[in-house]
Amino acid sequence: MLLSNRVAIVTGGSSGIGRGIAIELAREGAKVAVADVQQAPKIGKYHETDLATTTVDEIEKLDGEGCFVKTDVSDESQVRNMIEQTHQRFGGLDILVNNAGIHIPGDSQALSLANWDKVTGLNQRGVFMASKLAVENLRNSRAGRIINIASIQAFRGGGGPAYPTAKAAVVNLTRSMAVELASDAITVNAVCPGYIETSIQDYASLEQIEVCRQKTLLPRFGKPRDVARACVFLASNDAEWITGTALVVDGGWLAGLM
C-alpha cells in the first residue's frame, strides 16, 4: 500500500469529494481523521442520492482506521481541536487535505456581503488556517503533505464572484506555502476538479448541468474517486519531488477552452 501507517486529515470528509479522498487514502493504508460539520453524508438530488453509511463506516469496511472529528474549518478553536484530536488518536500527522468548501450562487449584485464572507471564510481563510496550524505537526513527519482542493473555476470567469475568487486564492496560497515549506521537505499542491458528481451540484439546474456535460470532453462526468486518486498520488512517495503545482482533474474541460 502506498500510504501505510501515515496519518491524514480530510476536511469536509463526510460527503462528496472529501468522502472519496478519505476512503482512498484509507485504502492505501493511511489512518484518516474525517473532519466535517456533520458525520452523516449529505444526500443530493442529482448525485449521491442513496448514501447510507458514514465515511468512517466505509474506512472500517476496508479494515482501515478512521475517526470523525466535528469541525467547522472557519472556526479557529475547532481547527485547533481537529489537529489535536488527530494527534492524540493516531500519534502524529503526515497529510492534510483541505477539501471543505461551499458555493452560494449569485452574481456581484445578488450575493450579500454576509454570504461573500461565508464563502471566502470557509474556502479561502479555512484553507490557510488549517495549513498554518498543521505545519508544526507536519514538520515532524518524514513525508509531510498539504493537498488543497481548488477548482477549475480558479482559472476562468463565471460561477459568481466569491467561489472562483476563493479558489484562485487557494491556488496561489498553494504556491506561496510550497516556497515557504520546501526547506522542511513538506510538499504543498492543489488539485483542481471540474464537474464531479456530488451533492454540491444541487444548486445547479438541469440545463446548467447539461452545459457542463457539453464542456467536459471525456464521455462522462468526474467521480469523487477521480479526484481521490490524484490526492493519493500527491500524498505518496511517488510525488515527493512535486510541490507548488495545481493538478487539473476535469475530463478535459479546460483544454477545450484553450
SS3 116: helix
Averaged pLDDT of the chain: 96
Domain ranges, ordered by start, for the chain: 7-250
Of the candidates 46, 163, 195, 203, the residue annotated as catalytic is 163
Q: Give the β-pairing of 31-36 and 7-11.
A: parallel
Superfamily of domain 7-250: NAD(P)-binding Rossmann-like Domain (3.40.50.720)
CA distance 84 to 4: 21
Q: 129 pLDDT exceeds 80? A: yes
Residue 156's pLDDT is what? 87
Q: Give me the mean pLDDT over the 32-49 stretch.
A: 96
User: Please, which pLDDT band fits residue 157 given cuts at 50, 70 and 90?
Assistant: confident
Query: Among residues of the chain, what percentage have pLDDT more than 90?
Result: 96
Q: 258 pLDDT exceeds 60? A: no
User: Please, which pLDDT band fits residue 114 given cuts at 50, 70 and 90?
Assistant: very high
Q: Mark whether 195 is an active-site residue.
A: no
Q: Which residue pairs from 117-124 have beta carbons closer than 8 angstroms and sit at least 24 positions apart in sequence? A: 118/74, 119/162, 119/163, 119/166, 120/162, 120/165, 120/166, 120/169, 121/74, 122/73, 122/74, 123/162, 123/163, 123/166, 123/167, 123/170, 124/165, 124/166, 124/169, 124/170, 124/173
Residue 257's pLDDT is what? 67
Q: Give me the mean pLDDT over the 66-71 stretch.
A: 98
